[in-house]
Amino acid sequence: MPMDMRRLQMFLAVHEHQSFTRAAKASFISQPALSQCIKELENQMGAVLFHRLGRRVTLTPAGEALVGPASQVVREFEAGRRAVQAVKGLQAGRLDLACLPSLAADPVAPLIGAFRSRYPGVLVVMTSPRDPADLARLVAHGTCELGVTDACDVPRDMISKPVVTQELFAVLPPGTTPATDPMTLEALNKIPIVSTQQGTFTRNVLDQAFFDAGLSANLAVVSEQRDAIPPLVLSGAGAALLPRPLALALQAQGAVMAGLEPRLFREVVMIHRNSVPSPAAQAFFEMA
């Protein structure tokens, strides 16, 4: 039978105070309860641990042998308890977060910055999934506690919370003069377009928007690498649909940014499993 931590603590208290009466008072329990606790420990150990000398007690050889191991167990238990309390209080711990690459700069980076400012003891580990389906698997399997993804890609068994609505803009190669601003899809379709592969959110929005307009997108480059889209636009390969933060960043590098008519939007959500999240995940979820 495993020893009860409380019994080891009472054993060490009696050893420290060399008195059942003083040990009971210091431990805030009755003397009969303390005596019963020590008796149960002696039964478990199969040996008498204390010599009872009137009101004073001393260790037997068996008791002396137990002091060191008991002290070590209690110290390790207390260290573990403090570590758990630190995690609960967000003074320590770890948050595993998955986000689509196109969402890492915005809105995830500012959220992590705000979270770290508030909870500097928590380590944040970011994972970059290949696509929304891969992100959902990471969260479902527990590899990551939270995922930041597109609203249209939330599995039914996940809990989600809206984070931000991003408007998409046309970003044209440097030197391009847009026919109008905002640009109609007909005007945009006169320019070669670079986009991600089918199944990604931006590509789905692009295809649906052109389909609704009775058009077929004038695709020039299809890239599996999302990070390749901005340099492709800057190099003159074609135009792209990008959320405002990325569009503004490319505009600062010489690209031409224009609104769209009709306006297109991207809904970003945060998801987690239908279970109790860790304190760090709960705090980040609520912050978002």
Per-residue pLDDT in tens (0 to 9) along the chain, 288 residues: 455 889 999 999 999 999 999 999 999 999 999 999 999 999 999 999 999 887 789 999 999 999 999 998 888 888 888 878 877 888 888 999 999 888 888 899 999 999 999 999 999 999 989 888 899 999 988 899 999 998 877 888 899 999 999 999 999 999 998 878 899 999 998 999 999 888 777 888 889 999 999 998 899 999 988 888 999 999 999 999 998 888 999 999 999 999 999 999 988 999 999 888 888 998 998 888
Write the CB contacts of 52 (distance below 8 Å, at least 6 apart in sequence).
none
Phi-psi region of 179 (alpha: psi -120 to 50; beta: other; left: phi over 0): alpha
* Phi, psi angle pair for 203, to nearest 5°: -65, -40
* Residues 98, 139: Cα–Cα separation, whole Å: 8
CB atoms within 10 A of CB 287: 13
* Residues 63, 42: Cα–Cα separation, whole Å: 9
Check: CB of residue 156 under 8 Å from CB of residue 125: no
At residue 88's C-alpha, the angle toward residues 104 and 145, to 5°, is: 35
Check: CB of residue 172 under 8 Å from CB of residue 252: no
- Strands 260-261 and 183-184 turn out to be parallel
User: What is the model's pTM?
Assistant: 0.66
Among 64, 49, 154, smallest CA distance to 100 is for 154
The H-or-E segment that residue 120 falls in is: none
